[in-house]
Amino acid sequence: MDIFIYILIAIIFIGFVYGVYIYGRLKKFKQYVDDSWESVLVSIDELKTDILENIDNYGENKKKVKVIIKKMVMDEGIQEFIAAYVNLDKLLGENALFEEASKSTKVAIRAYNDDVLKYNNEINMIFKMLVANVFGFKPRIYFRSKK
């Protein structure tokens, strides 16, 4: 009987240690996603500044560009922010000046989406899902272009 108690205690201890390990790993991936999102925001702020400095080069789209850029604030939420960026990309996507200015933004978005993929995959694995649900790790939204 004593051996079963020791085995049970060992199993509980191993489960606890594994749970702590999973929690730390999920926390790390979540931080990667948060850091990537900050890079996207910084890159888009630089893009907005660049566009506004060269607004006269966008011809008849000047007013539309200004309206879209005003919508690109995080106060409205991530979905609206992404939609505003996608609209800007659709409007100016063929413009050579915009293409050059948006290269770093596209790289930052790609890195963000890669980190979101890794994070979402982690929290959807069987045992990790249990820890993720207990500690409130939620799936993140991809930055998708609807071209």
pLDDT digits (tens, 9 = 90+) for 15-52: 999 999 999 999 999 999 999 999 988 988 888 888 88
State the CB neighbour count (10 A cutoff) for residue 79.
Answer: 9
Residue-level pLDDT at 84: 83
Determine phi and psi for 28, rounding to 5 degrees.
Answer: -65, -45
Q: Write the pLDDT tens digit of every residue in 80-139.
A: 788 888 888 888 877 777 788 788 888 999 999 999 999 999 999 988 999 999 999 999
Query: What pLDDT, on a 0 to 100 scale, did the predictor assign at position 16?
Result: 94
Q: What confidence category does residue 146 fall into, taking pLDDT thresholds of 50, 70 and 90?
A: low
Question: What DSSP element (H or E) covers 25?
Answer: helix 2-53
Q: Do 109 and 44 form a contact (C-beta atoms < 8 A)?
A: no
Percent of the chain with pLDDT over 90: 47
Confidence (pTM): 0.80
What is the widest separation between alpha-carbon atoms in the chain?
A: 84
Residue-level pLDDT at 87: 84
What pLDDT is stored for residue 64 in this prediction? 84
The confidence score (pLDDT) of residue 75 equals: 64
